[in-house]
Structure 1
Amino acid sequence: MAGENIATPSPDRPRLLLVEDDAGVRRSLQLLLRARGFDVRAYSAGAALLADPLADSAGCFVADYSMDDLDGLEVLSRLRSRGWTGPAVLITAFPTADLRERALASGFDEVLEKPFREHVLGDTVVRLTQAREAHRLS
């Protein structure tokens, strides 16, 4: 996890968790989501994310499905078991109807197929976090 979360957290930027095992993809998504106004905490593995004490205060979660240690479904399951209730987006290069069904049943709000246009993930995360905030305030 060293070197992955180099930015100082900002109280006015919503915290987002990103777990992606491909370093180039992770860095690209991290930069993209920071440009959209998020304080992105990026991890190369699910276990590293789950070990971070700041993870439970995040407002959104983006996970790759296929990773070496834990898949994205398992990471979300563990976050949910700790009481985390934010919106979640699964990204995958191996989409199937079964995976989509399992992801939605396990609490993911969206499943995005890689590769996707850069605005798709940012727009999805903004929409989900704004909807969650509007619901919380109503």
Structure 2
Amino acid sequence: MIDKTDAVSAVRTKLLLVEDDAGVRRSLQLLLRGRGYDVRAYATGRQMLADPRSIEAACLITDYRMDEMDGLDVLRGLRDQGWHQPAILITAHHAADLVRAAREAGFDTILEKPLQDHVLVENVARTTRPS
């Protein structure tokens, strides 16, 4: 007989990670997977937006500055597809104008680089916690 609590705990929260730096992307993916998250990682926002499974994610984590499209455009693209989950922006360019634009775009959290692992994990846990 299957215990329902075991079945529920086996369901891993799905996260989207968009980061153009391969080393950073892999590091963050391993960190979050190690904390029990199901992480889909992408090198570009266009790749992520083209994946129909992206709409199933509970949270987006994206870098701000990327070549093809910035993190604000990544979130706008998801919103255009009807996705309304929380989003976290990571940036090395933390300025008042960017924070304001990120909030207007719908980001729940803006984190500064260099990123401390526990800060990211705590924010992901907070934003994906059931209400």
- Give the TM-score normalised by structure 1: 0.86
CA RMSD of aligned residues (A): 0.9
Which sections of structure 1, spanning at least 5 residues, go unmatched?
Answer: 1-10
Q: Alignment partner of 1:17: what SS?
A: strand
Higher gyration radius (CA): 2
Distance, in Å, in 1 between the alignment partners of 2:28 and 2:34 is: 10
> Which residue in the other structure is 1:31 paired with?
30
Q: Alignment partner of 1:54: what SS?
A: helix
Give 1:18's aligned amino acid.
Answer: L
Q: What fraction of aligned residue pairs are identical, expressed as a percent?
A: 57
Give 2:92's aligned amino acid.
Answer: A
Distance, in Å, in 1 between the alignment partners of 2:126 and 2:34 is: 15
> Which residue in the other structure is 1:47 paired with?
46
Give 1:12's aligned amino acid.
Answer: V
Which sections of structure 2, spanning at least 5 residues, go unmatched?
Answer: 1-9
Q: Alignment partner of 2:52: what SS?
A: coil
> Which residue in the other structure is 2:102 paired with?
103
1:4-34 CA distance string (max 9 Å, x none): xxxxxxx610110000000000000001111
Give 1:112's aligned amino acid.
Answer: L
> Which residue in the other structure is 1:62 paired with?
61
> Which residue in the other structure is 1:16 paired with?
15
